[in-house]
Amino acid sequence: MALLPFLDRSRTIAAPGFSRWMVPPAALCIHLCIGQAYAFSVFNLPMTKLIGVTASAPGDWNLAELGWIFSIAIFVLGVSAAIFGRWVEEGGPRQAMFTAGLCWALGFFISAIGVYIHNLWVVYLGYGVFGGLGLGLGYISPVSTLIKWFPDRPGMSTGMAIMGFGGGAFIASPLSVWLMAHFSTPTHVGVAEAFIGLGIIYLIFMWVGAAIVRVPAPGWKPEGYTPPVVDQPLITKNDVYVYDAIKTPQFWLIWWVLCLNVTAGIGVLGQASAMSQEMFPGKVTALAAAGFVGLLSLFNMLGRFFWASLSDYIGRKNTYFCFFAIGTVLYCTVPWSGSIGSVTLFVLAFLVIITMYGGGFATVPAYLKDMFGTRYVGAIHGWLITAWSAAGVFGPVLVNYIRQYQIDSGVPKAQAYNVTMYIMAGLLVVGFICNFLIKAVHNRFHMKPDHEAVRAQMAVDAAGEPAGA
């Protein structure tokens, strides 16, 4: 039983007449809010001028110190998704979404206090720890619910939600800038007030999502849907318990598949502006580079929906084969585009690459569902998110350090990224091999009848007190 009865899983079972198309907007309410994390950098410069206002003054925070806020949040995201995944799965989506909203908003409110008293440790605690908890819980909370509502289109449904995470920055970035401008005065930078404003808006948005979300009644199927009768070796009809799933080679192969795909993309996302200007000096201005970064974010979001939806038709394994094969070719194309001075080819290559970066995130929940069943897919997804945290370290380090090493070795800036691109292509080849090695999970890992009996009892208990739609 949840602390508040309204949050209990049994109170979220959909009544007859409830449309399953209400669930994706509920999931988007969460992901559009936590996607703000991608836009946190808009606060970086203003937070270096909290004392000096027009310019940094002695005692003001510097960018290196501020960079830890995002890093702590992403670290806590991975840890909390892994630790609380089972609680999210068994407690139901409403409880998880409600808690995620509370943590996310608290993160902003505590950070506002930190900014107000100018104590960076309080901001680390606020956005880093509480915000990171909100990120972790919010990211995985709607996944298994969507898969259960859309057994016929699991890729599309989870892709839609995870697309929201990519799209959250589009809303957060202009909204944050507007809020800061609104609350700033000639003697004050309005960061704390902007944090409070965002916290209130996100709390309302995420709690609306928690109120809307429903789980299907036991045995529910979409109208006209009949599960495939022909056995597909890579789509299981059994469930695997979360702590058994992480003992399988399949889990760790998918972990590397995600980690390598994200590593290749994340380094580029972080360095896109500098890379485009340095590879095409005189041709790509700082303003044009900023536009390029905006387009990358847009294609990152669109790729999440496109590739995850496509995976429902061509299969998850084939979708990742596309990412790794096409990605390898495109990464090898980038140095060539620099050598012939083709900005168009460079931009097109990276736009396609970044769709596959987003697509990798969005397709993986359905891949896990295919391999391990639906029962604990959210919790297993939580463990897999640690691959993202690892890639968040590998990707930028690879791009930044290799570039610096090249420049220190006397390589012109325009060619300093070439080796990195070939290394990224190599990582994708390794990812291709990992994906190739993924086979069906051995039946010794499947949940046994005693697990089934517990599940059946839970379903009976849950069905005893259905809620209104």
For the four alpha carbons of 370, 223, 378 and 296, in that order, the dihedral sign comes to positive
In 16-40, which positions are buried (b, 16+ CB within 10 angstroms) versus exposed (e)?
eebebeebbbbbbbbbbbbbbbbbb
Give me the helix-helix angle, 63-91 and 131-140, nearest 10°.
Answer: 40
The residues near 217 (Cβ < 8 Å, ≥ 6 apart) are: 13, 14, 463, 466
Is 291 a binding residue for other proteins by CB under 8 A? The answer is yes
Name the segment binding other proteins (CB under 8 A); options: 23-31, 261-269, 410-418, 431-439.
23-31
Dihedral of CA atoms 279, 280, 286, 290 in degrees, nearest 10, equals -70
Is 157 a binding residue for other proteins by CB under 8 A? The answer is no
- Residue 314 C-beta: closest distance to other proteins, Å: 26
The residue among 217 and 440 lying less far from other proteins, judged by its C-beta, is 217
Size of the site for other proteins (CB under 8 A): 42
Degrees, nearest 5: CA angle 434-309-266: 50
> 3-state class of 141 per DSSP?
coil
The residue among 169 and 258 lying less far from other proteins, judged by its C-beta, is 169
Is 266 a binding residue for other proteins by CB under 8 A? The answer is no
How far is residue 453 from each of residues 10, 210, 239, measured CA to CA in Å?
18, 29, 13
Indicate which single residue of 182, 225, 405, 460 sits in contact with other proteins (rule: CB under 8 A). 225
Indicate which single residue of 7, 13, 14, 123 sits in contact with other proteins (rule: CB under 8 A). 14
Give which of 305, 360, 381 is closest to 77, Cα–Cα.
Answer: 381
Indicate which single residue of 7, 13, 28, 146 sits in contact with other proteins (rule: CB under 8 A). 28
- Residue 132 C-beta: closest distance to other proteins, Å: 23
Indicate which single residue of 42, 53, 122, 208 sits in contact with other proteins (rule: CB under 8 A). 208
- The 158-197 site mask, x for binding other proteins (CB under 8 A), equals ------x--x-xxxxxx-----------------------
Is 42 a binding residue for other proteins by CB under 8 A? The answer is no
Is 313 a binding residue for other proteins by CB under 8 A? The answer is no
The residue among 186 and 224 lying less far from other proteins, judged by its C-beta, is 224
In angstroms, the CA 138 to CA 76 distance is: 12
Are 261 and 430 in contact by the 8 Å Cβ rule? The answer is no
The residue among 304 and 316 lying less far from other proteins, judged by its C-beta, is 304
Is 151 a binding residue for other proteins by CB under 8 A? The answer is no
The residues near 150 (Cβ < 8 Å, ≥ 6 apart) are: 20, 156, 157, 222
Residue 68: DSSP 8-state = H
Q: How many CB atoms lie within 10 A of CB 407?
A: 14
- Residue 169 C-beta: closest distance to other proteins, Å: 8
Instruction: Name beta bridge partners: 215.
Output: 13
In angstroms, the CA 436 to CA 303 distance is: 22
The residue among 72 and 194 lying less far from other proteins, judged by its C-beta, is 194
The residue among 287 and 340 lying less far from other proteins, judged by its C-beta, is 287
Residue 21: DSSP 8-state = G
Indicate which single residue of 2, 6, 22, 118 sits in contact with other proteins (rule: CB under 8 A). 22
- The 50-69 site mask, x for binding other proteins (CB under 8 A), equals --------------------
Degrees, nearest 5: CA angle 406-411-413: 90
φ/ψ region of 14 (left if φ > 0, alpha if ψ in -120 to 50, else beta) reads beta
Name the segment binding other proteins (CB under 8 A); options: 183-191, 219-227, 252-260, 377-385.
219-227
The residue among 172 and 266 lying less far from other proteins, judged by its C-beta, is 172
Is 229 a binding residue for other proteins by CB under 8 A? The answer is no
- Residue 455 C-beta: closest distance to other proteins, Å: 17
Give residue 287's identity as a one-letter amino acid code.
Answer: L
- Residue 292 C-beta: closest distance to other proteins, Å: 8
> HSE-up of 19 (CA within 13 Å, CB side)?
5
- Residue 29 C-beta: closest distance to other proteins, Å: 6
| Chain contacts with other proteins (rule: CB under 8 A) | 14, 16-22, 25-26, 28-29, 32, 164, 167, 169-174, 208, 212, 216-217, 219-225, 287-288, 290-292, 294-295, 297-298, 301
